[in-house]
Amino acid sequence: MTGTDDDQPLVEAARAGRAEAFGELVKRHQDRLYPTLLRLTGSAEDAQDLLQESFLRAYKKLGRFRGGSSFYTWLYRLAVNLALSHRRRRKGPVRLSELRGEGAAPLEPPADPTRSDPTLPAEQAEREAIIQAALDALAPDHRAVVVLKEFDGLRYEEIAATLGVPVGTVRSRLHRARRELRDRLSGIVDEPAVRQGTPDAE
Amino acid sequence: MIPRIRPIAARVASHRIARHCAGSRIPGNRGASRARVRELSIFLIFPNRSEMSQFDETLLSAYLDDELDPESRREVEEAMRADPRLSRELGELARVRGLVEGLRRPLEAPDVSGEVLARIALERAPTRALPPIAAASALAAAALLVLFFLGSRPHRAEPPRGGPVEVAGADVPEQSGSGTVAIASVPDRDDSAEGLAGFPEVAEGGPAVGDADRAGAGDGGLLGFVLDLIDYPEGEQFEIEPAPGTSAEELAAGLDVLLREQIVRLDPRYALIHTGTSPGPGAIAFALVARPSERQTLLSLIEEALGARPRKAGWADREEAAGMLVAEAGGLTLSTATTGVPMRRELPDRIHAIPVFPQDSATSPEPGELGRPLPGGLPPVSVAPPAAPVSPLPEGTAPEPTGPDSGAEPERPGVILLWVRDAAGGSPAPGSPD
């Protein structure tokens, strides 16, 4: 995870009170940040709200940004933790996966068909919807490590730094999350690799 | 040495598992059955768990991700050679990873730069000081409501506490009392160091709101602070709308009196947040730090006291609450029930050190003593020793409460925000009851 090297002049200008410079930072980084927030929250509306909120908080805390990391890395950590906080506090039915000690249950495809890409063949779309639903059902902490690892491609150390947890915790959360996904997606995982249409990493 | 599964034992185990599961299989719940079978397999094949491998299976994921040092990689590979189950599991984990990676595709992001800049501009907009006349009007309304609520409130065994409260100075010691009314409006932050003098509108016969903090020009800190309140772990949002015939102003003023006079009195955990400097969307909110065990009692007391005056009361949406704040960020005012210190400066201490409430004496209770119950019926809770110095919140995170390790699961205090809004979504502007 790297940031844009030439962010610093914009950061300095924003600190000096030039809001338009901060607007340029928003335009520069919102496209990278939004997918992460969408996958962490599972809701386009929530992700957009959190995107705004992340930038607003970054602006307010700009004085505390010391440049030890890139601006994007700093912003990314802030946004991920904001999304995690949001998701932990979300009202609504408690998911089975959030009930400690409950077994994992396979999931039906989500009711919202807009989560699937309409351009995909129906079978693949349904499969992706099931996988997405399994991801949605993960506990927030587990979902976070999966998103940061599988979608954003972070190394364990980077995930640990982002979430403020030890590397060993990242490793165990990721392993438990994958096992839970395996149990939820048993029907798909047990299919021959040829039918899955995805590269088998084994 | 990792024991190998003997074929006979495995067959026996499979038979016993099949019999066990035959009557309990849940249609369509293959994942749960699979997990159960796996668990039973482990138990039946290794009834004595000490026979199980001590291999740390989380290493499998790290192996898959190429996150292991050479020695650990060798350890994993040896374990897999000795136990085919681990090899199978690695294959399954790899397939899971492939399935999730298959979801990766470019996503189109919305452009939020305009909204972000608009919100920044809102926060930087200059605020209007509370006009003295409006403050006096609010005071008059509050005084009326004091009588209204005091006359209608349920009788409580504990009598109201008396004694004056000074509010003009910044270093007034906390004392009990209800004889003096003061609504303090604080000037913009540049003047706030000594800034209470001259602002409090003082009258007699009502409660006191002591110090206050106000979002001034260029100050986004107060908004951030209140947003942090909303985000604080274990917090709750509660929304109250007035019934027809009751204005939001009346309801808010009555709630303020109820909280300060009957429930928390001069408890430093209480704060009043005003938003909105003009008629229109906005809200008045009351912030109160409470433990989970206190919350239901608190809400029951409020419901009991307000009777039929609210048309609706229920849990509020956090995002909506934040939106109300942001919409009126320029007019944000935060007042605490105590004198001397605005809540924002002390909140982390209050949350972490609940319930050290120096309400009746200048000395804090000794660690381990029971805290005195909050007036109005909130139960006593155990006392934590004074909190360690509070460090700033990590970027983008809420802190984990720290405190003494008592051995028992500690109750995590949180912030209850009570929002008062009218049915149309608007709210009273502070100090403008007309």
Report ipTM (2 d.p.): 0.79
Q: Are residues B14 and B137 in the same domain?
A: no
B282 domain-assigned: yes
Q: Are residues B153 and B97 in the same domain?
A: no
On whether the CB atoms of residues B158 and B132 are closer than 8 A, the answer is no
Residue range of the domain that includes B174: 128-392+408-427
Lowest mean pLDDT among B191-195, B316-320, B352-356: B191-195
Residue B217 touches chain A, beta carbons under 8 Å: no
Question: How many domains does one find in chain B?
Answer: 2
At B346 the pLDDT is: 54
At B238 the pLDDT is: 74
At B417 the pLDDT is: 75
Q: Using CA atoms in the order A187, B41, B10, B29, what is the torsion angle rounded to 10 degrees?
A: -30
Grouping H, G, I as helix, E, B as strand and the rest as coil, residue B357 is coil
Residue B393 touches chain A, beta carbons under 8 Å: no
Q: Are B92 and A155 within 8 A, CB to CB?
A: no
Q: Are A23 and B116 within 8 A, CB to CB?
A: yes
Amino acid letter for position B22 = A
Q: Are residues B15 and B154 in the same domain?
A: no
Nearest to A175 among B57, B119, B231 (CB): B57
The model's confidence at residue B334, banded by pLDDT at 50, 70 and 90, is low
The DSSP 8-state label assigned to residue B286 in this structure reads: E
pLDDT digits (tens, 9 = 90+) for A84-118: 888 776 644 333 223 222 333 333 444 444 444 55
At B244 the pLDDT is: 75
B78 sits in which H/E element: helix B70-82
Over residues B99-103, mean pLDDT: 87
B138 domain-assigned: yes
Nearest to B113 among A27, A135, A146 (CB): A27
- The answer, yes or no, to whether residue B245 has pLDDT greater than 70, is yes
Over residues A132-144, mean pLDDT: 88
Q: Are residues B89 and B166 in the same domain?
A: no
- Which whole-number Å values give the CA distances from B167 to B163, B271, B333, B377, in the listed order? 13, 15, 17, 27
Ramachandran quadrant class, B340 (left: phi over 0; alpha: psi -120 to 50; beta: rest): left
Report which of residues B32 and B372 the model is more confident about.
B32
The model's confidence at residue A5, banded by pLDDT at 50, 70 and 90, is low
At A143 the pLDDT is: 92
Structural domains in chain A, sorted by start: 7-89 (1.10.1740.10), 106-196 (1.10.10.10)
Q: Are B112 and A55 within 8 A, CB to CB?
A: yes
Nearest to A52 among B61, B106, B112 (CB): B112
In chain A, what residues touch B415 (CB-CB under 8 Å)? none
Q: Is B430 exposed, middle or buried (0-12, 13-18, 19+ CB in 10 A)?
A: buried
At A28 the pLDDT is: 94
B268 domain-assigned: yes
User: Which of B266, B271, B300, B298 has its CA nearest to residue B285?
Assistant: B271
- The answer, yes or no, to whether residue B210 has pLDDT greater than 50, is no
Q: Are A198 and B62 within 8 A, CB to CB?
A: no
Report which of residues B33 and B382 the model is more confident about.
B33
Over residues B399-424, mean pLDDT: 55
At A148 the pLDDT is: 94
- The answer, yes or no, to whether residue B92 has pLDDT greater than 70, is yes
User: Which of B108, B83, B363, B416 has its CA nearest to residue B234?
Assistant: B416
CA distance B424 to chain A (A): 23
pLDDT digits (tens, 9 = 90+) for B32-53: 445 444 444 444 444 444 444 5
Over residues B391-407, mean pLDDT: 35
B109 domain-assigned: no
The DSSP 8-state label assigned to residue B387 in this structure reads: P
On whether the CB atoms of residues B342 and B210 are closer than 8 A, the answer is no
CA distance B92 to chain A (A): 7
Report which of residues B266 and B178 the model is more confident about.
B266
Q: Are residues B66 and B137 in the same domain?
A: no
Residue B400 touches chain A, beta carbons under 8 Å: no
- Three-state SS string over B175-227 comes to CCCCCEEEECCCCCHHHCCCCCCCCCEEEECCCEECCEEECCCCCCHHHHHHH
Decide which of B66, B84, B101 is a domain's last residue.
B101
B63 sits in which H/E element: helix B58-64
Q: What percent of chain B has pLDDT over 70?
A: 27
At A63 the pLDDT is: 84
Neighbours of B164 (CB within 10 A): 13
B348 domain-assigned: yes
In chain A, what residues touch B98 (CB-CB under 8 Å)? 196, 198-201
- Kind of pairing, strands B284-290 and B270-274? antiparallel
Scanning B156-215 for CB atoms below 8 A from A yields: none
In chain B, what residues touch A97 (CB-CB under 8 Å)? none
Residue count (chain A) = 202
Neighbours of B188 (CB within 10 A): 17
Amino acid letter for position A68 = G
Decide which of B83, B101, B119 is a domain's last residue.
B101
Q: Are residues B36 and B178 in the same domain?
A: no
Rounded Cα gap, residues B79 and B291, in angstroms: 48
Q: What percent of chain B has pLDDT over 90?
A: 9
Q: Are residues B92 and B185 in the same domain?
A: no
The model's confidence at residue A153, banded by pLDDT at 50, 70 and 90, is very high
Nearest to B318 among A23, A89, A201 (CB): A89
Q: Are A38 and B322 within 8 A, CB to CB?
A: no
Grouping H, G, I as helix, E, B as strand and the rest as coil, residue B375 is coil
Q: Are residues B182 and B245 in the same domain?
A: yes
B242 domain-assigned: yes
Evaluate if pTM is beyond 0.80: no
At A197 the pLDDT is: 47
Please tell me which of B34-38, B72-76, B100-104 the model is most confident about, judged by mean pLDDT: B72-76
Token pair recorded at residue A96? 């089975």
Q: Are residues B96 and B132 in the same domain?
A: no
pLDDT digits (tens, 9 = 90+) for A42-55: 888 889 989 999 99
User: Which of A36, A47, A123 has its CA nearest to residue B106?
Assistant: A36
Over residues A26-39, mean pLDDT: 93
Scanning A87-116 for CB atoms below 8 A from B yields: 88-89, 91, 103-106
User: Which of B293, B135, B317 has its CA nearest to residue B236?
Assistant: B317
At B103 the pLDDT is: 84
B372 domain-assigned: yes
At B218 the pLDDT is: 36
- The answer, yes or no, to whether residue A120 has pLDDT greater than 90, is no
- Nearest residue in B to A120, CA atom: B103
B1 domain-assigned: no
Q: Are residues B81 and B140 in the same domain?
A: no
Scanning B281-310 for CB atoms below 8 A from A yields: none
Q: Is B110 exposed, middle or buried (0-12, 13-18, 19+ CB in 10 A)?
A: middle
Token pair recorded at residue B14? 């499979």
Report which of residues B264 and B288 the model is more confident about.
B288
Q: Are residues B187 and B81 in the same domain?
A: no
pLDDT digits (tens, 9 = 90+) for B126-162: 443 333 333 333 333 333 333 232 223 233 323 222 2
Residue count (chain B) = 434
Residue A175 touches chain B, beta carbons under 8 Å: yes
At B44 the pLDDT is: 41
The model's confidence at residue B120, banded by pLDDT at 50, 70 and 90, is confident
In a 13 Å sphere around the CA of B114, the CA atoms on its Cβ side amount to 2
Q: Is B103 exposed, middle or buried (0-12, 13-18, 19+ CB in 10 A)?
A: middle
